[in-house]
Structure 1
Amino acid sequence: MISKKKAFVMAVLLIMVTAFVTFSISNLVALNVGDKMIISQDMYLRLNEDNENMGKLIHLKHFLLEEYYKELEEEKLIDGAIHGMFEAVGDPYTNYLDAKDMSDMMMSTQGVYGGIGIIVTADDDGYVSVVSPIEDTPGERAGLNTGDRIIRVDDENVSGNRLDDAVSLMRGDADTEVKLEVMKRNQNESVEISVVREIIRIQSVRSEIINNSIGYVRVTNFDEKTAGDFQSHMDEMTRQGITQVILDLRNNPGGLLTSAIRISDMLLDEGLIVYTEDRHGNRKEEFAGSGNYDVELVVLINEGSASASEILAGALQDREKAILVGGQSFGKGLVQEMQQLPDGTGFKFTVSEYFTPSGRSIHEKGIEPDYVVDIPEDIWLEGHDLELDEDPQLQRAIELFQ
Structure 2
Amino acid sequence: MMNENQEKNKRIFARRKFRSGFIAGVFACLIAIFVATNTLGLGKLITKQKYEYYADMERKYGKYYKIIELIGDNPIADYKPEDINDDALKELVSSIGDPYAQYFTAEEYKEFSRRYKGTYIGIGVAVAMEEESVVVKYVFKNGPASKAEIMPGDIIVKIDGKQPKNVEDAANKLTGKAGTKVNVLIKRGEETFEVEMEREKFEQDSVVYHEYAGQKGIGYIHVMSFIDGTAKDFKNAVKELQKEGCKKFIIDFRDNGGGLTEEGVKLADYLLPSGKIMTDVQKGGKETVRTSNESSAGIRYVVLVNENTASAAEIVVAAIQDNKGATIIGTKTFGKGVTQSVTSFKDGSAVKMTMSKYLRPNGKSVDGVGITPDIKASGDEALDRAVRELK
TM-score after normalising by structure 1: 0.73
Q: CA deviation at 1:119?
A: 6.7
TM-aligned CA distance change 1:228 to 1:271, over 3 Å: same
* Distance in 2 of aligned mates of 1:139 and 1:75: 42
Larger radius of gyration: 1
Cα displacement (A) at 1:173: 2.9
> After superposition, where does 1:29-178 map in structure 2 within 5 Å?
35=41, 37=43, 44=55, 46-57=57-68, 67-68=77-78, 77-117=84-124, 130=134, 133-136=137-140, 142-143=150-151, 152-156=158-162, 159=165, 167-178=171-182
Q: Indicate whether 1:194 and 2:201 are aligned.
A: no
Q: 1:281 maps to which residue?
A: 285
How far the C-alpha of 1:366 sits from its partner, in A, is: 1.5
In structure 2, relative to structure 1, the CA distance for the partners of 1:167 and 1:214 (3 Å cut) is: closer
Label 1:397 to 1:167 Cα distance change in 2 as closer, same or farther (>3 A): closer
CA distance in 2, matches of 1:134, 1:332: 22
Change (3 A) 1:356 1:145: farther
5+ residue gaps, structure 1, are 1-31, 376-390
Match of 2:84, SS state, is: helix
Structure 1 stretch displaced more, 357-366 or 33-42: 33-42
Q: Percent identity?
A: 27
- Counterparts of 1:194-273 in structure 2, within 5 Å, are 194=195, 196=197, 197-210=199-212, 211-240=215-244, 242-273=246-277
Q: In the alignment, is residue 398 of structure 1 matched against residue 387 of structure 2?
A: yes
Could you give the per-residue CA deviations for residues 312-355 of structure 1, whole angstroms, max 9, x where no partner exists?
11111111001011112122111011121111111111001111
How many angstroms does 1:203 deviate by?
A: 1.1
In the superposition, relative to structure 1, how do residues 361 and 156 fare at CA in structure 2: closer, same or farther (>3 Å)?
same
Distance between the aligned counterparts of 1:361 and 1:194, measured in 2? 42
Matching residue of 1:383: none
Tell me the secondary structure at the aligned position of residue 211 of structure 2.
Answer: strand
Which residue does 2:352 correspond to in 1? Answer: 348
The question of whether the paired residues in 1 share the 8 Å contact of 2:128 and 2:136 is answered with no
Shift in CA distance, 302/123, structure 1 to aligned 2, threshold 3 Å:
closer
Q: Contact 2:72/2:80 (CA < 8 Å) preserved in 1?
A: no
Instruction: Say which of 295, 313, 316 aligns to 2:320.
Output: 316
* Structure 1: distance between partners of 2:72 and 2:302: 58
Is the Cα contact below 8 Å between 2:111 and 2:176 reproduced in 1?
no
CA contact (8 A) 1:86 1:96 kept: yes
Q: 1:48-102: per-residue Cα shift (whole Å, max 9, x none)?
A: 3312113334555777x9655xxx9976634333323312212221111110011
Give the whole-Å Cα distance in 1 for the aligned partners of 2:68 and 2:360.
43
Counterparts in 2 of 1:263 and 1:77: CA distance versus 1, 3 Å: same
Q: How many residues align?
A: 344
Change (3 A) 1:117 1:311: farther
Q: For 1:394 and 1:157, how far apart are their aligned partners in 2?
A: 33
